[in-house]
Structure 1
Amino acid sequence: MLQNNALLAQLKQDIRANTPRAQGTIKATDKGFGFLETEDGTSYFIPPPAMKQVLHGDRIEAAIKEDGDKKQAEPEKLLEASLDRFIARVQLREGRLAVIPDHPSINQPLKARIKRSLDEASIADGDWVVARLVRHPLRPDDRGFFTQIDELVVKRDDPAVPWRVTLARHALEQECPPAAEAWPLQEEGLTREDLTAEPFFTIDGEKTRDMDDALRVETSDDGWTLTVAIADPTAYVDESHPADQEARTRAFTVYLPGQNVTMLPEALADDLCSLKPEVERPVLACRLQVGRDGTLGEYRFFAATIRSQARLVYDDVSDWLEGVNDAAAPAAAIAPQLEALRDLAQARAAWREQHTLVFKDRPDYVFDLDDAGNVLDIRTETRRTGQRMIEEAMIVANACCADLLSREVGHGIFNVHHAFEPEKLDPALEFLAAQGIEVEREQLSELPRYRELRRALDDREDAWLDARLRRFQGYTNMSARPGPHFGLGLPAYATWTSPIRKYGDMVNHRLIKGVLKGEAAPAEASQRLTEQLTERRRLNRMAERDVKDWLYVRYLGQSLDQGTVYDADIIDIRRGGMRVRLSANGATAFIPAPMLHSDRNQVAIDDKEGRIQIAGEPCYQLGGTLRVKLVEAREATRSLVATPAE
């Protein structure tokens, strides 16, 4: 009787209108059920049948319905799919094709088809592919999940899987760019000073091929004269050259354990532009004065030609300067320069300690790999004298570049870093006030005031406070306009010392050359370019982290049964447990809450405050340390699971 009745339609509409709704993000569990997490922190249960309509990370709108004294979310509308382009493994079962997304929280097979332009016979079970989600159950007229395989990334048994998959995940290039047939020097209208007779030298890692900086140090009564000579790829590549267009897209050389994917063709990066010993190379140079007290004096940029007289290695230089037994002495023309550079670096470090910001050193972890990509060892490398000298030389050279571009051009590619994101200033003030630290807003937003605050906070030596405060802090961005770099404590910072590896440095090279030639300043870099540089740098760092995570799991997973105990730092606390970093090798591991105590009800985790209590007693907090054992290495998710050591 009510069929096709207007009253029934109105009744349904009224019921729908009166049903509460919420928008949020899907959080899946490995037990089949999930939750809808809203922006205000409310969490609604989603039963297993309803979870078949959504994927972890989907943003949806759901109806909120009562189930006894509990509320459940019923997915209704897709706002944003968590999957679009994604990496997956092929699953072939009885002629049926599916893909399993390479995601720690999505492990269900999704039906798939192969793009017509691909050879279907080349795709086999277990291969790694790029796929795209083309249907979603919550979209109108879509009855289920369906995907398309767009690209074969790598065969399942290829030793290069970690590298190929990671680069594909972040849409980064797999190979170095192609080389041109010839690389003639451009006619740039510059007069190059002949410095080939001066004893320049380079200091790099033992395996470095793209050597982009050479130094010359002279001592005077007032301090030192430092000449920084930088490789000059823009002498070979103008802005219209295909290699420049490709470099602009790539933005950076990608450095991964065991593999580099260069920004410029290898013929340029590792040969013509590399400042190899005993060969003439065009450079862009800066000759600058550093006082005995570490102050930076006058400087001058100019084009030149040099011939490096020594290719030195960090450890060898450090051994000699630090008096390590049997350390080989450098050539007579180089040895006094190294001693002078050590003294200059110490003076600059002391000046920065007083006038800028200096943060604690963190070790680097180096992977020794065989030809098949297997990890032989993970070594800890600390910053020694050799690295410190080069670091200080590059900082003063880049400070000079920032000053020149700010005064003479008004724009360039600057590294701008604010201590706190603007939208996080008020929460940071509230957090500090809650810790009994009353500060003014300007102390977080103005560089001179922030220097004072940062030193006061460092004097507290409170690792928990420092770790919590980092949640409010900002990231370094590329900007066309000068701006402060809070991390270095400098009013402006613009790099030009790595043009082989960074496209922004190539841009700055061209601007410096324009100043030398007296040309009118060109238009400033577009926001699109600076955003692209910032984003590509982020992707490169994520790719490096992802490959390392894969290698950590493979290497450390081989020795789980040995019961090795590691010292670890607590770097994150979540509702489900805590993340730690192993001091011995830099690997990160997760300690699930059930492994903190045999009775889960005795574990109270405050993820907002970064503290964990067990049986009412404070036990762990952000920035703290503990000893752990690894109990599981999951290659599928590239994750390590640990437990506190007894």
Structure 2
Amino acid sequence: MASCQTGALLCYHGKSAVVVSVSGDKIEIRTEGGNTKSVRPKDVEWIHPGPVRELPPSVLETPGLEEFLELIGEETLPFGEFAELLYSASTPAAFWSAYLLLNEGLWFTGSVGSGVKARPRAEIDAALNAAREKAESRERYNTLLERIRKNALRPEDRPFLCEVEELARGKSQNCRILRDLDIEATPEKAHQLLLRLGVWSLLEDPLPVRAGMDMENPSFELPPPPAEERTDWTGMVSLAIDNSFSGDPDDAVGFADGLLWVHVADPASVVTSGSEADLFAARAGENLYLPEKTVHMLPLSATERFGLGLQETNPAISFGIRIGDDGRPVLEKLLLSTVKVERLTYETARERMDRSPLAEIQTALARFREYRLRNGALLIRMPEVHLFLQDGNVCVEPVELTAERELVANAMLAAGAAAADFAVEKDIPMPFAAQSPVEERPGGDTLSAMHALRRACPPGCVIPTPAPHSGLGLPAYIRVTSPLRRYVDLLAHQQLRRYLRGEALLTGGELEERFLSAEKEGMFRRKLERQVNEYWTLVWLAQHPDWTGNAVAVNRAGESTTLLIEELAYEFKSRACVHAAMDEVLPVRLVSVDPAMLTAHFSILR
């Protein structure tokens, strides 16, 4: 068969080709696409001496193979004889058809050069069954794709969409179904498809898992509290004031002997440096607060044991702070204590603001607030909301800035400022929170001015040496009031406990080794919280498709205007209001929303 004559039929890389010319040890061929190329004889399979008049040759109908198998039995036939006997012809089409049948591998084995032999009957049956199952599987798959295109899934289709769900959760990077539907294989597109098909509801939030977040709370046991001396402050009226939905009360306020007292939960009494709980919390950085769930950095038992007001009495670290006439907070007393705490919401605290101890605390903190403002503190007032799920619905509640909230916020800042000055005075290395000043401070108190001010603020950082926190208007600051939910606070408490016990302190470098990774993870979690809150805001809009409301123009870049929907604390960009003045209120209507893609479109109502 190795005829080198012009017009001979051969196979090159699985496709038919014809010999155009022969020159020495090279053959010029023309392939099915009409291209010519020079090849070596060993690179081709010779099929038929030709002449070939068309490429590819016609494929003949295969005759009944059962009789043919009986005819040849176990005999090995030369390829040419095999082709002629099978198709009763010696044409290029007959030889090409025989070649294709041989290469299917179902009925025969061998090659053009070595001859052809029928496969054993058992092998043929197994191969035919496998081919049949493969064809049926392909048909079922194509039918599934068609149902997906028509949004007509059946219950039995659900298991086949697991690969789409894995992509939506970020567990895989490829998805055959999306590829065959000509849909870009991204987690967002997979999520979008699952929502369209009704496989997932809007209440399925894949963002945390997609970000690699372990959504389970730690469950290891904490050791029993150490035997240590504590000051009994159970006779002091101590109030833990927080949101009604807060579940981890780690600070409380009181007033005695002219001092503002800030009592803080003391998990550091059992979460010691290098312990399992400490290492886990350092990796977590801080609690993750999502509308659907809170993921804690410490076991839930830590909150149950140390959350102020959750037990009859609680161990605490207490900061006794004197706020002088100039408003500067000075830490006069730092001690381990036992406190009895009453929990209040901001709403119930409002009824007691003119009574002791809140009246005295409010007076002292008014001086502290003025002290901060004199030092350039930035008071950024932007809308805030609380998102939560209830009975399958997303709920949005405004978070209003009230005197009670401001009292608690300033009390915590006073504790951090006083602790920082104390650490500097006593030469205690600590994780100091710092922020550089705004280079150019926008003026005004409108929403657009607040928006510009927020964008102008440099990011804060944690460093092992004292430095000003310009945004807070403080010469030095340490976060010390949230050790149940933020690792840097817990680390500060561990260091303060070393000081109180007269033990060797961690150096600045040792502190930095501990807080750098925690801060990095904390930043990641805060970014995730913003993304998840955006997702649930868009779900709220999807649950209110006829929503209309007002949006305020707060920024403009070129022809794009940033609009803020205050009731949702949600921003979006529009090119339809380029002539709107800053802080102009515009009526808007929801046009479409796509939570999977984190997008919503609004029209401006004129």
Q: TM-score, normalised by structure 1?
A: 0.61
- 1:417, CA displacement in angstroms? 0.9
Q: Are 1:645 and 2:605 matched, yes or no?
A: yes
What is the match of residue 393 of structure 1? 411
Contact 1:572 1:578 in 2 (8 A): yes
Cα gap change, 1:162 to 1:546, in 2 (>3 Å): farther
2:430 partner amino acid: G
What is the match of residue 256 of structure 2? 218
What is the match of residue 320 of structure 2? 287
Q: Are 1:559 and 2:536 matched, yes or no?
A: no
Contact 1:567 1:584 in 2 (8 A): no
1:235 partner amino acid: S
2:279 partner amino acid: Q
CA distance in 1 between counterparts of 2:244 and 2:186 reads: 46
- 1:621, CA displacement in angstroms? 6.4
- 1:359, CA displacement in angstroms? 1.1
What is the match of residue 474 of structure 1? 458
1:501 partner amino acid: R
Pairing partner for 2:232 from 190, 194, 218: 194
Pairing partner for 2:490 from 503, 506, 521: 506
CA distance in 1 between counterparts of 2:417 and 2:316 reads: 18
Contact 1:634 1:640 in 2 (8 A): yes
Contact 2:386 2:399 in 1 (8 A): yes
1:590 partner amino acid: K
CA distance in 2 between counterparts of 1:272 and 1:210 reads: 11
- 1:284, CA displacement in angstroms? 0.9
- 1:556, CA displacement in angstroms? 1.6
Deviations 1:353-374 (A, max 9, x none): 33341414233212242143x2
Q: Are 1:349 and 2:382 matched, yes or no?
A: no
Contact 1:630 1:641 in 2 (8 A): yes
Identity %: 21
Contact 1:570 1:625 in 2 (8 A): no
What is the match of residue 123 of structure 1? 162
CA distance in 2 between counterparts of 1:526 and 1:368 reads: 36
Pairing partner for 1:547 from 532, 538, 541: 532
Contact 1:499 1:506 in 2 (8 A): yes
How do residues 555-634 of structure 1 correspond to structure 2 at under 5 angstroms? 555-561=540-546, 564-571=548-555, 573=557, 577-591=560-574, 593=575, 595-596=576-577, 612=578, 619-620=579-580, 625-634=585-594
What is the match of residue 418 of structure 1? 436
SS in 2 for 1:272: helix
Cα gap change, 1:550 to 1:621, in 2 (>3 Å): same
Deviations 1:221-242 (A, max 9, x none): xxx3111111011112222321
1:522 partner amino acid: L
SS in 1 for 2:315: strand
How do residues 126-525 of structure 1 correspond to structure 2 at under 5 angstroms? 126=165, 128-131=168-171, 157=199, 162-163=204-205, 165-180=206-221, 183-186=223-226, 190-218=228-256, 224-269=258-303, 271-276=304-309, 279-308=312-341, 310-321=342-353, 335-372=355-392, 374-375=393-394, 377-419=395-437, 444=439, 454=441, 457-458=442-443, 473-524=457-508, 525=510
- 1:643, CA displacement in angstroms? 2.5
CA distance in 2 between counterparts of 1:243 and 1:343 reads: 39
Cα gap change, 1:553 to 1:463, in 2 (>3 Å): closer
- 1:297, CA displacement in angstroms? 3.6
What is the match of residue 131 of structure 2? none
Cα gap change, 1:637 to 1:303, in 2 (>3 Å): same
Cα gap change, 1:410 to 1:197, in 2 (>3 Å): closer
Contact 2:430 2:464 in 1 (8 A): yes
Contact 1:588 1:640 in 2 (8 A): no
CA distance in 1 between counterparts of 2:477 and 2:311 reads: 32
CA distance in 2 between counterparts of 1:411 and 1:622 reads: 46
Gaps spanning 5+ residues in structure 2: where?
1-137, 143-158, 176-183
Contact 2:321 2:333 in 1 (8 A): yes
SS in 1 for 2:413: helix
SS in 1 for 2:422: helix
- 1:479, CA displacement in angstroms? 1.5
Q: Are 1:532 and 2:517 matched, yes or no?
A: yes
CA distance in 2 between counterparts of 1:147 and 1:379 reads: 33
- 1:381, CA displacement in angstroms? 1.9
CA distance in 2 between counterparts of 1:386 and 1:274 reads: 20
- 1:406, CA displacement in angstroms? 2.6
- 1:273, CA displacement in angstroms? 0.9
Cα gap change, 1:93 to 1:480, in 2 (>3 Å): farther
- 1:252, CA displacement in angstroms? 0.2
- 1:94, CA displacement in angstroms? 6.1
Cα gap change, 1:147 to 1:289, in 2 (>3 Å): closer
Paired residues in the alignment total 442
Contact 2:416 2:481 in 1 (8 A): yes
- 1:509, CA displacement in angstroms? 0.6
Cα gap change, 1:298 to 1:366, in 2 (>3 Å): closer
- 1:416, CA displacement in angstroms? 1.4
- CA root-mean-square deviation: 3.7
CA distance in 1 between counterparts of 2:209 and 2:598 reads: 16
- 1:506, CA displacement in angstroms? 1.0
- 1:197, CA displacement in angstroms? 2.6
SS in 2 for 1:201: strand
CA distance in 1 between counterparts of 2:204 and 2:567 reads: 23
- 1:122, CA displacement in angstroms? 9.0
CA distance in 2 between counterparts of 1:122 and 1:557 reads: 24
SS in 1 for 2:252: strand
Cα gap change, 1:569 to 1:93, in 2 (>3 Å): farther
- 1:212, CA displacement in angstroms? 0.6
CA distance in 1 between counterparts of 2:399 and 2:520 reads: 28
CA distance in 2 between counterparts of 1:528 and 1:162 reads: 37
SS in 1 for 2:237: coil
Contact 1:200 1:307 in 2 (8 A): yes
CA distance in 1 between counterparts of 2:563 and 2:253 reads: 40
CA distance in 1 between counterparts of 2:140 and 2:255 reads: 71
CA distance in 1 between counterparts of 2:534 and 2:455 reads: 23
Gaps spanning 5+ residues in structure 1: where?
1-91, 97-119, 136-144, 323-334, 421-443, 445-452, 597-611, 613-618
Cα gap change, 1:367 to 1:133, in 2 (>3 Å): closer
CA distance in 2 between counterparts of 1:556 and 1:175 reads: 29
- 1:463, CA displacement in angstroms? 7.0
Greater helix fraction, Structure 1 or Structure 2? 2
CA distance in 2 between counterparts of 1:388 and 1:469 reads: 20
CA distance in 2 between counterparts of 1:287 and 1:487 reads: 24
- 1:277, CA displacement in angstroms? 5.6
How do residues 61-80 of structure 1 correspond to structure 2 at under 5 angstroms? none
